[in-house]
Amino acid sequence: MSSGDTWVYDFSQGSKEQKDLLGGKGANLAEMTTLGLPVPPGFTITTDACRYYLEHGTTPDELGAQVGEHLAALEQAMGRTLGDPADPLLVSVRSGAAASMPGMMETVLNVGLTDESVRGLAEQAGSERFAWDSYRRLIQMFGKTVLGIDGELFDEAFDAVKAEQGTESDLDLDAEHLRDVVDRFKAIVREHTGRDFPQDPREQMDLAITAVFDSWNSDRAVIYRRRERIPSDAGTAVNVCAMVFGNLGMDSGTGVAFTRDPGSGAQGVYGDYLQNAQGEDVVAGIRNTVPLVDLQEIDRPAYDELMGIMGRLEQHYRDLCDIEFTVERTKLWMLQTRVGKRTAAAAFVIAAQLVDEGLIDLDEAVRRVTGDQLAQLMFPRFVSGGDATQLTQGMNASPGAAVGRAVFSSETAVEWTGRGEKVVLVRRETNPDDLAGMIAAEGVLTSRGGKTSHAAVVARGMGKTCVCGAEELDVDTKARRFTAPGGAVVEEGDVVSIDGSTGRVWLGEVPVEPSSVVRYFEGELDPGADDADELVRAVHRILAHADEVRRLDVRTNADTAEDAERARRFGARGIGLCRTEHMFLGDRRRHVEKLILAEDDADRQAALDALEPLQRQDFLEIFEAMDGLPVTVRLLDPPLHEFLPDLTELSVRVAVAEAEGHHDEGQLRLLAAVRRMHEENPMLGLRGVRLGLVVPGLFAMQVRAIAEAACERKRAGGDPRPEIMIPLVGAVQELEAIREEARAVLAQVFEEQGCEVDGLLGTMIEVPRAALTAGQIAGSAEFFSFGTNDLTQMTWGFSRDDVEAAFFHAYLDKGIFGVSPFESLDRDGVGELVRIAVEAGRAARPDLKLGVCGEHGGDPDSVHFFHEVGLDYVSCSPFRVPVARLEAARAALGGDLAGG
């Protein structure tokens, strides 16, 4: 960047549209300043400066001078000088990335306080207690975030002073006690850094700014970005703002407010307030707050002004707003606003409400919700009954039903989850360092904090069940247990259940029931009924509009009539993958064994003849379930030996029988066949189209069963629409050989049955060579279906069953993957093969039907990609069908993956 670059902007210079440059916090502070709201003056150091620092290891040459210019303007506006001994200006230094990352990066308050200026602050404020409390907060936050000192050292020193005074509340400490705390904190800094706490106010500010930049790459920030798919090179802005104080006495305080309930979407007054406190006290959950509505009794003018500002902000942003504010001696100050994080249920309800209020249209409502949120709404919920004992009830911070073994540290949560345990993380209060454990756990339970505490905000953002502020629980993290009312003791490893919708906590496992949204999809709940809940109505309304605007069709992967019927209820418009191998399991394995052991054509045909009527009945039931909609049937794909006993187990069984004098000729023949067909790498062996070419009559039997079932369905007045798919094709010659055989069988069946059924013959594109020669293959295929599971394996050279357990965790930790390529499509590699095949296939055959049937068909990010490249449909499991419907519409409307 050139020497003329601007690295710093005053709050009066920006707008909410500049999030990428000013970060979300800075952009919104600028927006509120422009609106004329009471925002303390300040300035923002841009994300460009952060990226420069992260790339070069030093700040830009011009940054110091630009910060100095804006600091001088801030000092002039406030009529005070940073750290002035007589009347000091104090500032906060806060992070603020473009994407909300609550609690993941650093904040330092009260910057500018020194041994001299603390006395001036006391005189100006008329309160020595306030001044020394502010100074101890600065040293504590600065020591931890800037100097890298273990925060528990400060906590222990503070707790020691409180214990000496016989209290658990910091409010019971007077000025002399807090002066003692400051001395102890300064001693900790000296001991652990080898230097005294900085007494130069500008040095404090500059060090705090670089600490915020450094926090972009802290472990918790990296983990959060990876989970939320936030680009690692975005960087954070830094906001320097004149301090206003909520800890000046009981006529002061700090709070967090929501313009609607972020848990349910209900309209009303929601938030927390804490008298005589600074903002971090609310978020950290160190002291339990009072409901925001209580501010009405504490300070009615400030409450009325806040209500007016909240209404104005919601109208301006056209969305739920999350607001941080401070009252300084009855004067209201706005410290932050942003579009608030919300639960999945609240997202749908609020979107529908805003449509009714005329603030947004239905297109925007679809953009405001996500497929991931819809998937969360389909999770089961607790029902009464069972042997579990209710222990207590806290705040319903983030809904859901979570059952797991109680653990008391983030590290234990990660460790136990890694070995397959389900856990609930129990803490007094969480802090940003607990993020890894929160991600690993089924749910989070805290004894402190409210709906705006760190645990609640982060859990809501992740869709994680959370109960906060369960005050009756005495949580002892060192002893790894908690004690409930009545004396019940829950040790680490005991099973607990927490209900994030009601706040209830149980010892033991509570039974669950389907969610109301699943019951709606199953047809059990009528969204138009008078007693239909608001969530079901909102989901119905938004999905109905999604179906009107999406271009991509949505099918399902189903192998039984039952699955097909359920998927149709969930909105599937056909079957994109019917796996015929699943029809060969159970009692039918013996017919497959006979096919493999056949010694001549007659034995082989007899085995095929036994399988055909079974297959025909399967297909008939599926055609009935999906009448009038396409059904893509994949001919047999896996190696035949998968239907045979395991080689080792069978060898042992035969050897034991021989040792006991039992000679079983059939078992010996079976063992010989298993040995003959054993492959070192069966996924790359005799399977798919290769089976059809090598095993005479196998694919012909399946095609005949499909055709006969279609004719039977048509004679019954139905409308079957079969599509026959040939798997694992790598060369057009393979497809041509099978296609010729299939067409001959179809012609024969239609002649015998006296009927004609329209259908298609196509192939899966799951071998890289098929994608690269798609133009040739399209000449012999009427449709392509991308098998992205195998295509991913073969493109990466991965054996999925092996690599996910072997090294994917390390790849994710090292940032090689942002997400597993089996979970979300690798756009650059596998996606490029899909793009090549789409373009070449359509060039050769303009009417070529294109779909995808791998697991990626239900992944939101992948659905957006499939829309972009021009596929006709995606296919996924029945429970993912509603997710795909919604994301297909969001892709058509240009909605980003984060939603509202």
The pLDDT tens digits of the residues spanning 341-376 come to 898 999 999 999 999 999 999 999 999 999 989 988
φ and ψ of 478, to 5 deg: -70, -40
Beta pairing partners, 444 = 425, 466
Q: Write down the pLDDT at residue 805.
A: 63
Look at residue 512 in the predicted model and tell me its pLDDT.
80
Q: CA 107, CA 212: separation in Å to the nearest integer?
A: 7
Is 853 a known active-site residue? yes
CA distance 27 to 438: 29
Give phi and psi for 381, each to the nearest 5. -135, 165
Q: How far is Cα 392 from Cα 327, in angstroms, rounded to an integer?
A: 33
- Rounded to two decimals, the pTM is 0.80
The pLDDT score that the predictor gives to residue 375 is: 87
Residue 354, pLDDT score: 97
DSSP labels, 848-880: -EEEE-SGGGG-HHHHHHHHHHT-SEEEE-GGG
Asked if 321 is an active-site residue, the reply is no
CA angle 313, 319, 323 (to 5 degrees): 50
Choose, from 50, 70, 241, 454, the residue flagged as catalytic.
454
CB atoms within 10 A of CB 163: 10
Q: Residue 450: which residues within 8 A CB-CB, separation 6 or more?
A: 272, 282, 285, 288, 289, 395, 397, 456, 468, 469
Given the residues 466, 468, 853, 876, the one annotated as active site:
853
Low-confidence ranges of the chain (pLDDT < 70): 1-4, 282-287, 385-386, 451-452, 461, 801, 804-805, 897-900
pLDDT at 3: 44
